[in-house]
Amino acid sequence: MPLLPGVLEVRALRQTAKMAVIGARHRKNDTRRQALGYRNDTLPAALWNTSVNDAGHLEIGGCDSVHLARDFGTPLHVVNKDRLVADFERFHGAFARCWPEVILGTSYKTNPLPGVIRQLHQLGSWAEVISHFELWLAIQLGMPGARIIYNGPGKTRESIRLAVGHDLALINLDNASEVDQVAAEAQALGRIQKVGIRVVTSVGWSGQFGNSIASGEALAMARRIVASDGLSLAGLHIHLGTGLKHLPTYLQAIREVCVFAQTLQSELGVTLSYLDFGGGFGVPTVRPMDEWDQRLQANGYPPGPIDPSANPTPETFAQAVTGLLREFYDPGHPGNCPTLIFEPGRAITSSAQTLLLSVIAIKPGPNGSRKVILDGGKNITIPLGYELHEVLPASKMNSPYGGQHQLYGPLCHPGDILVLWKRLPDLEPGDVVAIMDAGAYFIPNQMNFSNPRPAVVMAHDGTAELIRAREQFDDIVRLDQLVD
Ligand SMILES: Cc1ncc(COP(=O)(O)O)c(C=O)c1O
């Protein structure tokens, strides 16, 4: 009998210890799920302003989701108009109650559906665009230049010409060559173009974006702008990231921006009209996946819960942000107060949109689980690779829940995994499932991968209107040419 355990025994001990830690984590998560109001490992449908009708089907905007799937086919995006409007008004209202002038710019890239964007413009939003195409789209949608903000690290010369030609409200400049190009276009038209500087603070995204305040880069940009004919330095812009739920990070960045605004005043005599704090606000029902979620799922457990209360409400955000701004500005004197711009993308559109998918086939999975093959894959659900989203059994909302399901797409690709672990009722071919919070970064990230892209309907008061037709096979190859 050896005194020391052999390699195999050490491995087995390690594995047992690892499984004990993972099991303990799972039990802790389960207790948290109960406390958070989860039923059957699932958040309540009411969190998305959806409901369950007498047929036991998920209802969105008063429309039976199973009827929508039947009438329009799947995969199908359903925009809940009332929820979209409510999320916009809540966010805007929260800030507008605390500050004299507040503008929300609709982030085109978050959800570039013209039907959704137009709805938000009708509520008073400006357009926040980051490419020539988006600028073109804003103009097509009837937005005057005075309600368009142009951001992004790679503005082409043609797009700058178009932007200056339309006398945009604000072009947030990212680099020195943009300063010179915008100035040249403005001079050619004999016009003064209002510009901002995208700055980088000690927190949030930096990478290829913006100009560091700490290194002096931002001040050098400001000097260059002030010295250029045709430009007026009107604002500062930040965008810290996406899906952020940590208020102190925001406040830290905003403080640094305000201090920098004071430097601009004292060094260059510049008074800013706009402070643009970008987007990035998280939503209650989505959580970025972490290492624990991956580990739990790989070992046959559900990922950790989504805690909706972990996301600061718009009111909490607004009070904290404007409270901080009052240290620098007096909103009692609106003339001396900058207009605040926010560019919330996902906070407005995420929870208002659901992706309906149909079950094509069911197969037995490991340890009694079931593999579900759906008619939409990773090509149209990219965010499921890095975020946790709720999945509801749209056609079986009142059925008893069974065991673990793994959800796959139809792509004939080993990476076509939508959700690795989900308890659901025992689904059959033809059943419909709903991927919740499909309104941010699903549409802009979608690709064909051998399939047409989905149709989109807007549901309101029991009626659904098509706002984007399903792509046809012809559409996919329309720009191709056969050459001999
Ligand atoms: C400049 C800018 N503004 C706004 C947004 C919208 O961000 P979110 O959807 O996280 O609010 C983005 C997204 O990356 C962005 O880059």
Q: What is the pLDDT of residues 310-352, one digit of tens each?
A: 999 999 999 999 999 999 999 988 778 999 999 999 999 999 9
The domains found in the chain, sorted by start residue, are 45-79+351-473 (2.40.37.10), 112-279+312-344 (3.20.20.10)
Q: Whose CA is nearest to atom 5 of ligand 1?
A: 279
Asked whether 396 and 58 are in contact (CB, 8 A), the reply is no
In the reported structure, the alpha carbon of residue 267 is separated from the centroid of ligand 1 by a whole-number distance in angstroms of 30
CA of 345 relative to ligand 1 center, distance in Å: 6
Say yes or no: CB of residue 305 within 6 Å of ligand 1. Answer: no
Distance CA 426, CA 183 (A): 63
| Buried-state track 393-413, b at ≥16 Cβ within 10 A, e below 16 | bbbbbeeebbebbbbbbbeee
pLDDT at 394 over 80: yes
SS3 at position 338: coil
What is the arithmetic mean of pLDDT over 160-182? 97
CA of 342 to the centre of ligand 1 (A): 9
| CB of 242 sitting under 6 A from ligand 1 | yes
Specify the residue for token string 């303990």. Answer: 24
Instruction: Check pLDDT > 70 for residue 306.
Output: yes
Q: Is the pLDDT of residue 354 over 60?
A: yes
Number of C-alpha atoms within 13 angstroms, CB side, residue 479?
1
CA 344 to ligand 1 center in whole angstroms: 6
38 CB near ligand 1 (under 6 Å): no
Question: pLDDT, tens digit, for every residue of 205-242?
Answer: 889 999 999 999 999 999 999 999 999 999 999 999 99
DSSP state of 219: H
pLDDT at 334: 73
Half-sphere CA count of 374, side-chain side, radius 13 A? 30
> pLDDT digits over 93-104, tens only?
999 999 999 999
Q: Which of 92, 104, 110 to mutate to test the pocket of ligand 1 (most atoms within 8 A of CB)?
A: 110
Pick left, alpha or beta for residue 99 (phi over 0 → left; psi -120 to 50 → alpha; otherwise beta).
Answer: beta
Ligand 1 center from residue 343 Cα (angstroms)? 6
- CA 311-34-350 angle, to 5 degrees, is 35
- 444, 110 Cβ separation under 8 angstroms: yes
State in Å: Cα 322 to ligand 1 middle: 20
Cβ burial 295-325 (10 Å sphere, 16+ → b, else e): ebbeeebbbbbbbbeebbebeebbbbbbeeb
Cβ atoms of 153 and 208 closer than 8 Å = yes
Q: How far apart are the CA of 53 and the centre of ligand 1, in A?
A: 36
Q: Is the pLDDT of residue 2 over 70?
A: no
Q: Which atom of ligand 1 is nearest to the CA of 440?
A: 9
Q: What's the rounded mean pLDDT across residues 192-202?
A: 98
* Number of other CB atoms surrounding residue 162 within 10 Å: 18
Ligand 1 pocket, 468 CB below 6 A? Answer: no
pLDDT at 3 over 90: no
Question: Could you tell me if 171 and 193 are in contact, meaning their C-beta atoms sit under 8 angstroms apart?
Answer: yes
Confidence (pLDDT) at 4:
65
Question: For residue 467, what are the contacts with CB-CB under 8 A and spacing of at least 6?
Answer: 79, 113, 114, 115, 116, 456, 457, 458
Q: How far is CA 470 from CA 37, 47, 48, 142, 466, in A?
A: 37, 28, 24, 25, 9
The neighbour count for residue 221, using CB atoms within 10 Å, is 23
Q: Which residues contact 67 (CB under 8 A, 6 or more apart)?
A: 57
Whether 439 lines ligand 1, by a CB cut-off of 6 Å, is: no
Query: Measured in angstroms, how far is the CA atom of residue 245 from the centroid of ligand 1?
Result: 14
Q: Is 254 helix (H, G, I), strand (E, B) or coil?
A: helix
pLDDT at 330: 94
Q: What is the pLDDT of residue 6?
A: 83
Cα(132)–Cα(446) distance, integer angstroms: 20
Quick one: pLDDT band at residue 71, thresholds 50, 70, 90? very high
Q: What is the predicted pLDDT for the residue at 298?
A: 87
What is the spatial distance between Cα 382 and Cα 445, in angstroms, rounded to a whole number?
Answer: 6
- The response to whether residue 279 sits with its C-beta less than 6 Å from ligand 1 reads yes
Residue-wise pLDDT tens digits, 266-303: 999 999 999 999 999 999 999 999 999 999 998 889 99
How is residue 39 written in tokens?
């039923």
The first and second tokens of residue 358, run together, are 């149909």
* 458 class by beta-carbon count within 10 Å (0-12 exposed, 13-18 middle, 19+ buried): buried
Q: Is 151 in the pocket of ligand 1 (CB under 6 A)?
A: yes
Over pLDDT 90: what percentage of the chain? Answer: 94
When pLDDT is averaged across residues 346-372 and rounded to a whole number, the result is 97
Residue 1 pLDDT greater than 60, yes or no: no
Question: Mind listing the pLDDT tens digit for each residue in 106-159?
Answer: 999 999 999 999 999 999 999 999 999 999 999 999 999 999 999 999 999 999
Q: Which two tokens stand for residue 245?
A: 């739920």
Q: Per the confidence metrics, is the pTM higher than 0.85?
A: yes
- What local confidence, expressed as pLDDT, does residue 335 receive? 78
- The CB of 110 under 6 Å from ligand 1? The reply is yes
Output the CA 18–ligand 1 centroid distance in Å.
39
Q: In 10 A of CB 28, how many CB atoms?
A: 11
Relative to the CA of 130, which ligand 1 atom is closest?
1
Q: Which of 36, 42, 12 is nearest to 401 (CA)?
A: 42
